[in-house]
Amino acid sequence: MKNREEIEKAICSISTLRILAAMGKQPSKTFSKYALRKETMLNERDVSRAIEKLMEINWIEELNLGRIKLYKLNLKKPKIKTLIEFLKKMNYI
């Protein structure tokens, strides 16, 4: 996927941006969908769609613990670190 397409997919919606911001507050933490819903005030459908988009471009990772699925930022991607720094500098998180 081209760089521009990846970035547009990641931050083209309020839902994905809110999830990235919520996760960026504690980058090494794992989150359930419920925790992300609570933190972002998004509904279940919007959280699920945003997670799918972000997993598709490998910006977040899914940890499958049987019936429980947790999500975390893929900190191996330099773009994630840069985005989190930007959001912090802009006082978004």
pLDDT-based confidence at residue 2 (cuts at 50, 70, 90)? confident
* Average pLDDT across the chain, whole number: 93
Q: What is the mean pLDDT of residues 41-60?
A: 96
pLDDT: which is higher, 59 or 6: 59
Long-range pairs for 38-41 at CB < 8 Å and ≥24 separation?
40/15
Q: Which residue has the tokens 């940890």?
A: 63
Q: How far apart are the C-alpha atoms of 4 and 2, rounded to whole Å?
A: 6
Q: What are the DSSP calls for 30-76, one per residue? A: -B-HHHHHHHHT--HHHHHHHHHHHHHTTSEEEEEETTEEEEEE-TT
Domains, the chain, ordered by start: 3-87 (1.10.10.10)
User: Which tens digits make up the pLDDT trace of 58-79?
Assistant: 999 999 999 999 999 999 999 9
Please give the share of the chain, as a percent, with pLDDT higher than 70: 99
Secondary element (H or E) of residue 1: none
**90 Cβ contact list (under 8 Å, min separation 6):** none
